Amino acid sequence: MTKRIFSGAQPTGNVHLGNYLGALKNWVALQHEYESFFCIVNLHAITVTHDPKLLTESTRNLTRIYLAVGIDPQVSTVFIQSDVPEHAELTWVLNCVVRISELERMTQYKDKAKKQQQENVTAGLLDYPVLMAADILLYQTDLVPVGHDQKQHLELTRDLAIRFNRDYGETFRVPDAYIPKVGAKIMSLSNPLKKMSKSDDDANSRIMLMDDSDTVVRKFKRAVTDSGTEIRFDESRPAINNLLEVYHLITGKSAAEVEDHFAGKGYAQLKGDLAEATIEFLKPFQQRVREISDDELDQILERGREKASRIARATLQQVFERTGLTGSLKR
Ligand code: TYM
């Protein structure tokens, strides 16, 4: 049987180069090898303060971005999380399997909770990884292509699947994370010790996929560098290492070719070439984003919803049977 992948991104703000290089680029590469499900996880996006009008718009925009980076709706299933209510239903069941202490240990929860005023931290934020586990387990997923920051959530997903299977009988496939060797943690352009992040207050810290050419040039120009002049991969010089990693991934040149290309050259050249290569990738991508019509988008999402629902319903039915939640209910 063809193996399955599932992954998703939150429609909060926009997608940055880290999201693309750490995750979306790999989805595109893997979609022909696996039966693929790519979800726009809007239920996750309401775990922090948000603007309802913007969320609807960002949900559609993110769908366009999935398609424009190269997700092929003829081979992959693209859908919106809230269109398939089984995600929320399975979350409830898994809430009765997870331990609160496991959730309180999640580093992303601790970081995000710190950013919110304490009295504003929602139960949804704490429960976020359980919803993520439900996303993955509903589709009997084999592999989950994500960036490094999702590793802990994947480990929890595996633990919950194993615990449920042990207590109620074999039900879920136990998924593996797919974290690329290079690109799983693209760093901020302003501080190479922090990951590139949507929620960073400093907009210059990240390249957004919808940035225009001037903005890309300006942001790379402002990117911090390390001491020393040589341009080569070197983990002890995190700023240059990060810029080279981006160049390597965006051009497809091997690490050796990249070092050759920059031998004897300075930081200004690196930043200029990086901006040029990024713009070369972004221009046609942004054109494709603009070309996708509302009708096309609606059709793709409706097909996605139907296919995802069928599989999600079958898994949830099994979960209900195993846990005694059937009663007289036949759905
Ligand atoms: P999100 O929306 O924060 O990010 C989407 C993907 O981008 C990766 N990523 C990065 N990769 C490399 N460098 C970075 N600086 C960087 N920043 C982000 C993330 O690891 C992610 O793969 N919880 C998830 C969404 C989600 C999900 C799921 C993912 C919900 N349910 C089920 C997989 C399976 C999230 O917030 O991703």
Which conformational region is residue 52 in: left (phi greater than 0), alpha (psi within -120 to 50 degrees), or beta? alpha
Question: Residue 96: what pLDDT?
Answer: 98
Question: Residue 330: what pLDDT?
Answer: 58
Between CA 134 and CA 323 the distance in angstroms is 15
* Of the ranges 10-14, 94-98, 112-116, the best mean pLDDT one: 94-98
Question: Under 8 Å CB-to-CB from 156, ≥6 apart: which residues?
Answer: 98, 102, 106, 129, 133
The mean pLDDT value for 238-245 works out to 97
Centre a 10 Å sphere on the Cβ of residue 212 and count the other Cβ atoms it contains. 13
93 touches ligand 1 (CB under 6 Å):
no
What the chain holds in terms of domains, given with CATH numbers, is 4-184+293-323 (3.40.50.620), 203-289 (1.10.240.10)
Which residues on neighbouring strands pair with residue 80, listed in sequence order? Answer: 40
Name the CA dihedral angle for 203, 109, 107, 234, rounded to a multiple of 10 degrees: -20
132 touches ligand 1 (CB under 6 Å):
yes
Are 165 and 81 within 8 A, CB to CB?
no
Question: Residue 329: what pLDDT?
Answer: 53
The three-state secondary structure class of 4 is strand
The three-state secondary structure class of 38 is strand
Angle between helices 238-251 and 255-262 (to 10 degrees): 110
Q: Is the pLDDT of residue 60 over 60?
A: yes
pLDDT digits (tens, 9 = 90+) for 198-219: 989 999 999 999 999 999 999 9
Question: Residue 116: what pLDDT?
Answer: 82
The mean pLDDT value for 59-66 works out to 97
Q: From the alpha carbon of 41, which atom of ligand 1 is closest?
A: 30
Measured in angstroms, how far is the CA atom of residue 19 from the centroid of ligand 1? 6
Centre a 10 Å sphere on the Cβ of residue 61 and count the other Cβ atoms it contains. 19
- CA distances for 85 relative to 62, 79, 80, 126, 316, angstroms: 20, 12, 10, 20, 10
Query: ∠ CA(188), CA(290), CA(31), 5° rounding?
Result: 65
Question: Residue 119: what pLDDT?
Answer: 82
Order of strands across the sheet with 76-80?
A: 76-80, 35-40, 4-9, 143-145, 176-178
The mean pLDDT value for 233-251 works out to 96
7 touches ligand 1 (CB under 6 Å):
yes
Among 285, 250, 279, 280, smallest CA distance to 68 is for 285
The mean pLDDT value for 251-269 works out to 96
Instruction: At 136, list the tokens.
Output: 């993955």
Average pLDDT, the chain: 96
Question: Residue 326: what pLDDT?
Answer: 85
Question: Residue 175: what pLDDT?
Answer: 98
Residue 141 is which amino acid? T
DSSP designation for 77: E
pLDDT digits (tens, 9 = 90+) for 111-169: 989 888 878 899 999 999 999 999 999 999 999 999 999 999 999 999 999 999 999 99
Measured in angstroms, how far is the CA atom of residue 146 from the centroid of ligand 1? 6
Nearest CA to ligand 1 atom 35: 9
Question: Residue 117: what pLDDT?
Answer: 80
Question: Residue 331: what pLDDT?
Answer: 54
Q: From the alpha carbon of 153, which atom of ligand 1 is closest?
A: 23
Are 149 and 107 within 8 A, CB to CB?
no
C-alpha radius of gyration, the chain, whole number: 21
Q: Is the pLDDT of residue 13 over 80?
A: no
Measured in angstroms, how far is the CA atom of residue 76 from the centroid of ligand 1? 18
Q: Is the pLDDT of residue 64 over 90?
A: yes
Q: How confident is the model at residue 28 (pLDDT cuts 50, 70, 90)?
A: very high
